[in-house]
């Protein structure tokens, strides 16, 4: 075991390049967000109605991922609540991610959880409680509004990734909440703050929701490479030990993340993984080569996980793509059916397989291209974009595929 002990010894004695690891975490929000003063002030201004006892306008914030939308909302709302508490004004501000709570009912359940009226809440208040399932949407909605009205609750409801609600009949909720204030004459209000990655999602909304939801709008522009550089530089000063990192590394991280629409989260993650790699090989400092390896690793890890965690049927489809000659849809389906037959599984329909294929394309593990062969019909040519070794590695422990001798 001396080899293992040696490794542990070296790790223990080796120099730690990072002294404040938490600041490299994607979820870490610094006290002041660089380059987002205008947006923060703007949001604060719009929410500040509550100090006059009025309902703030509903708001929509747009911007690509990693442009600081959620962080701005979190910091501003946090201070708003603190200030309100000092002044004796009660405000509750649940922040709900609509991608995680991805159905209308789940959103309502999350709000109830935040207010303490979910199924774990007090037993006597049945008419205000929201169980995990079993109620109609209308009833769940009514119960929440009843609770808000009865207790005169002032709520700023933040829905992150609000665009993912629209396709799943979630705009019913948005409609109800934006209109709820008219019903709450006796006190209490709901003000909605929506955060969206997609600028175009509004077009899909019910026109009545659209008009009340977009009372105010703010667009978050992507960070420039220079801004990313400064953000990383500040973060690196907090996170790294002295001389553990060079400007060149920061520049490279900024440039790499900047190429993909100025995503600050990606830039920081790249820095974190680079540091981990450097520490693992006991390097005296993080160098540019670590960044390049880190970039590669982040990409590969994401693809590896996407394949490894895929449903059994998805893995079979992946295998079928690998086995088909040209990767045309028909061929892939035939190969998939053959695989199913071998392991005695009932194959899914071709319609479902095309759906799985487009889901896999979204994950970035395959690519498709429309091929028109005239009378030979129209089809897609499907290709695996992940190195075959990664695919094999990700699939090697799957018991279903083991039956196929894979």
Partner DNA sequence: ATTCCACAGGAAACAGTGGTCC
Partner DNA sequence: GGACCACTGTTTCCTGTGGAAT
Binding residues for DNA (CB under 7 A) = 102-106, 119, 126, 129, 131-138, 168, 311, 313, 328-331, 333, 346, 348-352, 354-355, 357-358, 370, 372-380
CA atoms of 61 and 57, how far apart (whole Å):
13
Q: Distances in Å between the alpha carbon of 180 and those of 4, 82, 105, 149?
A: 63, 26, 17, 10
Q: Element (H or E) spanning 10, and its range?
A: helix 2-13
DSSP string covering 158-199, please?
A: EEETTHHHHTTTTHHHHHHHHHHHHH-TTS-EEEEEEEES-T
To DNA, the closest distance from the beta carbon of 314 in angstroms equals 9
To DNA, the closest distance from the beta carbon of 135 in angstroms equals 5
For 118, the 3-state DSSP assignment is: strand
Q: Which two tokens stand for residue 202?
A: 């509004």
To DNA, the closest distance from the beta carbon of 329 in angstroms equals 3
To DNA, the closest distance from the beta carbon of 214 in angstroms equals 24
Distance of CA 148 to the CA centre of its chain: 29
CA atoms of 179 and 208, how far apart (whole Å):
9
Q: Which is nearer to DNA, 10 or 341 (CB)?
A: 341
Q: Which is nearer to DNA, 2 or 372 (CB)?
A: 372
Q: How many CB atoms lie within 10 A of CB 136?
A: 9
Q: Which is nearer to DNA, 2 or 136 (CB)?
A: 136
Q: Which is nearer to DNA, 22 or 358 (CB)?
A: 358
User: Which residues, listed in sequence order, are joined to residue 97 by a DSSP beta bridge?
Assistant: 160
To DNA, the closest distance from the beta carbon of 211 in angstroms equals 23
Q: Which is nearer to DNA, 129 or 290 (CB)?
A: 129
Do residues 190 and 94 touch, judged by C-beta distance below 8 A?
Answer: no
To DNA, the closest distance from the beta carbon of 137 in angstroms equals 4
To DNA, the closest distance from the beta carbon of 86 in angstroms equals 37
To DNA, the closest distance from the beta carbon of 174 in angstroms equals 14
To DNA, the closest distance from the beta carbon of 208 in angstroms equals 20
Q: Which is nearer to DNA, 168 or 289 (CB)?
A: 168
| Long-range contacts at 330-335 (CB < 8 A, ≥ 24 apart) | 330/379, 332/357, 332/382
Q: Element (H or E) spanning 260, and its range?
A: none
Q: Which is nearer to DNA, 38 or 139 (CB)?
A: 139
- CB burial of residue 98 (10 Å; 0-12, 13-18, 19+): buried
Q: Which is nearer to DNA, 124 or 242 (CB)?
A: 124
Q: Which is nearer to DNA, 53 or 330 (CB)?
A: 330
Q: What's the start-to-end Cα distance of the chain, in Å?
A: 33
DSSP string covering 59-115, please?
A: EEEEE-TTSSHHHHHHHHHHHHHHHHHHTT--EE--EEETTTS-SHHHHHHHHHHHH
To DNA, the closest distance from the beta carbon of 215 in angstroms equals 27
Q: Which is nearer to DNA, 212 or 354 (CB)?
A: 354
Q: At what angle do helices 388-395 and 288-308 cross, to 10 degrees?
A: 50
């Amino acid at each position: 075991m001396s080899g293992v002990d040696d490794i542990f010894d070296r790790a223990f004695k080796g120099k730690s390049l990072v002294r404040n690891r938490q600041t490299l975490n994607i979820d870490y929000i610094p006290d002041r967000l660089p380059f987002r003063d205008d947006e923060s002030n703007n949001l604060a201004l719009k929410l500040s109605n509550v100090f006059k006892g009025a309902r703030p306008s509903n708001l929509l914030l747009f911007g690509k991922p990693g442009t600081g939308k959620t962080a701005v909302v979190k910091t501003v709302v946090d201070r708003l609540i603190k200030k309100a508490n000092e002044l004796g004004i009660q405000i509750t501000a649940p922040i709900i991610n609509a991608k995680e709570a991805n159905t209308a009912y789940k959103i309502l359940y999350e709000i109830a959880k935040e207010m303490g009226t979910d199924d774990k809440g007090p037993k006597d208040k049945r008419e205000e409680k929201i169980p995990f399932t079993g109620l109609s949407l209308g009833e769940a909605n009514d119960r929440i509004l009843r609770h808000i009205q009865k207790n005169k609750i002032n709520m700023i409801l933040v829905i992150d990734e609000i665009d993912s609600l629209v396709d799943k009949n979630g705009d019913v909720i948005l409609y109800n909440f934006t209109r709820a204030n008219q019903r709450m004459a006796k006190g209490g209000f709901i003000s909605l703050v929506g955060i969206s990655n997609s600028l175009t999602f509004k077009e899909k909304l019910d026109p009545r929701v659209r008009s009340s939801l977009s009372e105010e709008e703010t667009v978050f522009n992507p960070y420039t490479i220079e801004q990313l550089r400064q953000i990383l530089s500040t973060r690196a000063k907090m996170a790294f030990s002295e001389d553990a990192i060079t400007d060149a590394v920061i520049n490279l991280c900024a440039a790499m993340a900047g190429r993909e629409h100025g995503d600050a989260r990606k830039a920081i993650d790249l820095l974190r993984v680079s540091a981990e790699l450097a520490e693992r090989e006991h390097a005296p400092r993080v160098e540019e080569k670590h960044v390049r390896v880190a970039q590669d690793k982040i990409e590969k890890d994401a693809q590896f996980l996407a394949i490894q965690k895929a449903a059994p049927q998805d893995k079979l489809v992946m295998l079928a793509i690998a086995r088909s000659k040209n990767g045309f849809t028909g061929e892939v389906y035939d190969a998939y059916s053959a695989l199913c037959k071998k392991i005695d599984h009932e194959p899914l329909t071709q319609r479902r397989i095309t759906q799985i294929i487009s889901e896999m394309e979204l994950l970035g593990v395959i690519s498709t291209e429309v091929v028109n062969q005239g009378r030979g019909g129209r089809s897609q040519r499907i290709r695996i974009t992940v190195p075959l070794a990664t695919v094999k590695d990700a699939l090697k422990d799957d018991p279903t595929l083991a039956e196929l001798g894979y």
